[in-house]
Amino acid sequence: MVMTAKVLVEVDTRRCASSGNCADVAPEVFTQDDETGVVVLLEAHPAPESTADVEQAESLCPARAIQLSAEA
């Protein structure tokens, strides 16, 4: 999925498998809790130039804990 509009990022921390893929590919948007390893969303409305990284993070998430939607 290639989005051209501004992206809204949401995460489901209950589903997170703590793989760290998201933080590896889009560190400007995601990090991990130091104690639990669970995803921490840093930016729900990332800059347009981060869209490709965020889409890759979504596709790499083994738990499907990342949801993307286009904003108007």
Q: Over 80: is that where the pLDDT of 46 sits?
A: yes
* Per-residue pLDDT at 3: 47
Average pLDDT, the chain: 93
**Domain ranges for the chain:** 6-71
Partner residues linked to 11 by β-bridges: 66
* Per-residue pLDDT at 72: 64
Q: Which listed CATH number (3.30.70.20, 3.40.50.300, 2.40.440.10, 1.10.3720.10) goes with 6-71? A: 3.30.70.20
The region of weakest confidence among 8-12, 19-23, 49-53 is 49-53
Q: What is the mean predicted confidence (pLDDT) over 37-54?
A: 96
Q: β-strands 6-11, 30-32: how paired?
A: unpaired
Contact 22, 61 (CB under 8 A): yes
pTM over 0.85: yes
Q: What is the mean predicted confidence (pLDDT) over 3-21?
A: 90
Q: Is 52 helix (H, G, I), strand (E, B) or coil?
A: helix
